[in-house]
Structure 1
C-alpha cells in the first residue's frame, strides 16, 4: 500500500486492477468451494443467459456492457465446457442465438446458495467501511460515461500547457512568423489570394498603420500563433478578426482560444460594439472555436475572398 500512497491518485487504474485481481482470485476459490464449474469472467454472460431467454451475442454484449469480441470469446469457452449451446434463431434463421445447455441450467439452479452467501458477505464488508464502494463505482461509471478519463487528461494537459502561452503585441521581428503561419494553413486548404499577399507581405503598412492590431502567441518564447484585428471601413462593423493561425506543432494548447479572447478584448478596449470575421466551413475546428467565442452566422456582407463561404459576428 505504501507504493500507492506514495504515487498518489494517478495510479488509480493500477490500484483498481490490483483490487480486481484480488477479488477475482477469491471468486475463483468461492466457485470451487460451492462446486460450481464457472470462471469469474464468465459470470455476466452466464447470469444474462440464466434468465431463460435465448439471446444473440450482440444482445448479451449490450446488456452487460462488454464488447462483442469479449462476449464471443467467453461464449466459445463456455461451449467447450458444455455450459452453453448455439443454435439458429427460430424467428430469423440468419442469426445465431445462445442458451444455457442442460448442464448450464443445472449450474444456474445449484448456484443459488452461493448467490445468497456472496451477497451477504459483500453487504457485511460494506457495512464496515466509511464509504459505500458500490455507490462510488456507480458515480464513477456515470462520470466517465459523460466524459472519459482520456478526455479529462487531455483537458488538463491543454490547461497546463496554456499557462505557458503568452499573448504579446506584434513587432517587426514577428513579421516572418505572421506570414509563415498564415501561408501554411491557407495553402493547405485553398490558394493564396491578392488580399492575403497584401496583408501578410506588409502587415505594418496594411494592418497596423490603418488602425489595426496584431497579436502573437508565444510558447517557450517562440511565436506559434497569430491573429489580426483589422480596421474596417464599414457602417456596421469597425473591426474584423482575421489572419488567425496556429502552428500544427503547437495545437492542443488552447492557443486559438487565448488569441480569440485577447483579440476580442482588444476590440472592446477600442470601443468596438461588434466584431466580424470570414471563414470557410471546411475549417471545422476553427468554426467550432468561433462558436465557442460567441460568434454567430450572418449573411450578405461583401468579401474580397473567393474561399469565404461563412460570415460571422459577435456582439462585444
Structure 2
C-alpha cells in the first residue's frame, strides 16, 4: 500500500477498484463454498426478485440503482442459467415481467445460510475497525448524489484558476480587446447591431464619459475578459451591466463570475440601488450566472437589441 500512502486521496478510484476486485474475488469463492452457482454481479437482481412478485427490468434497475442495459444483460445471463422466467405482463402486454423460476426459488432457499454467515463475517470485520465502512459508503453515496466528484473538482479548479485572475479598470490600450471579445461572442450566437458598434467603437464617449465604467480581467497578465457598467438615464435603474465577454480559451476559470461580481461591487460603491441587464435565454451559462449572482427577471422595457428576450435586475443589498 506504499503507492496509496504516497499518492494520497487522488488515487481513491484505483484504491476502491482494488478493494472491490478483492471482495468480488472472495465472493466468487464464497458461492462455491456453499455450492451455489452464482456470479457476484447477479446478486442485487436475484435478491430483489427473491423478496416479492415479478418485476420489469425498469423496476429492477430503479430498485437496485443500476442502469437498464446492465440489468437487461444480467437477466439474459440468468435466463440462460435457468434462474428466472420472463413473460408478458397480464395488464400491459408491452411489458415483460421477470420472476424467479423454480430453480431460482430453490437457490433462494439454499443461499440463506450463506447470507447469515456473510453478514456475521462482515459484522466481525466491522467490530475490528475504527471506521465503519458500511456507514461511510452510505455517507459518500449521499454526498456524491448531491454533488458529483467531477463537479467538486471543477469547482476546485475554478478556485485555483481564480488566483491568477486580476480585475483592473479599463485603459485606452484595451479598446481593441474590448471590441474583439464582444464581437467574437456576439457573432457566435447573433448578429452585430448598431447599438453594439456605438459602444464598442467608442467606449470612451459612449460609456466612460457618461459616468460608466469598464473592467478588464487579466489572466496571468493577459486580457481575456471584459465587462461594462453603463450609466442609465432612467428613473428606475442606475446602471446597466453590459458588454460582458470572456475569451473561449478562458472558459471555466470563473472569470465571468469574478467580472460580474466586481461590476456589482463598483455599482454599490457608487451608491446604486438597482442594476439592469439584457440577455437572451439561449445563453444558458450566462443566465445561470446572473441567477447565481442574484438577478431576477423583470417585465420587458424598450431595448435597442433585437436579440434581447430577457431582462433582469439586481437590487443592492
Q: 1:102 to 1:193 in 2, by over 3 A?
A: same
1:272-296 deviation line (CA, Å, top 9, x unaligned)? 2222222222322222211221222
Poorly superposed stretches of 4+, deviation over 4 Å: none
3-state SS of paired residue (1:256): helix
Q: 1:118 to 1:220 in 2, by over 3 A?
A: same
| Residues 50-89 of structure 1 mapped to structure 2, 5 A cutoff | 50-89=50-89
What is the CA-CA distance between 1:300 and the residue it aligns to? 5.2
- Give me the whole-angstrom Cα distance separating, in 2, the residues matched to 1:303 and 1:95: 54
Q: Quote the residue 2:224 is aligned against.
A: 224
- Give me the whole-angstrom Cα distance separating, in 2, the residues matched to 1:260 and 1:49: 54
Paired residues in the alignment total: 316
| Residues 45-194 of structure 1 mapped to structure 2, 5 A cutoff | 45-194=45-194
Correspondence 1:215 to 2:215: yes
What is the CA-CA distance between 1:52 and the residue it aligns to? 4.2
- Give me the whole-angstrom Cα distance separating, in 1, the residues matched to 2:216 and 2:241: 14
1:216-261 deviation line (CA, Å, top 9, x unaligned)? 1111221111001112222332321111111122111111110011
- Give me the whole-angstrom Cα distance separating, in 1, the residues matched to 2:60 and 2:300: 54
What is the CA-CA distance between 1:94 and the residue it aligns to? 2.5
- Give me the whole-angstrom Cα distance separating, in 2, the residues matched to 1:90 and 1:303: 60
What is the CA-CA distance between 1:53 and the residue it aligns to? 1.5
- Give me the whole-angstrom Cα distance separating, in 1, the residues matched to 2:315 and 2:166: 25
Are the aligned partners of 2:230 and 2:240 in contact in 1 as well (CA < 8 Å)?
yes
| Residues 228-243 of structure 1 mapped to structure 2, 5 A cutoff | 228-243=228-243
3-state SS of paired residue (1:240): strand
TM-score normalised by the chain length of structure 1: 0.95
- Give me the whole-angstrom Cα distance separating, in 2, the residues matched to 1:305 and 1:96: 55
TM-score normalised by the chain length of structure 2: 0.95
Are the aligned partners of 2:170 and 2:214 in contact in 1 as well (CA < 8 Å)?
yes
| Residues 167-316 of structure 1 mapped to structure 2, 5 A cutoff | 167-299=167-299, 301-316=301-316
Segment drifting more, 46-55 vs 84-93: 84-93
Aligned Cα RMSD in Å? 1.5
What is the CA-CA distance between 1:183 and the residue it aligns to? 1.0
Q: Quote the residue 2:6 is aligned against.
A: 6
3-state SS of paired residue (2:167): strand
Q: Which runs of 5+ in 2 are unaligned?
A: none
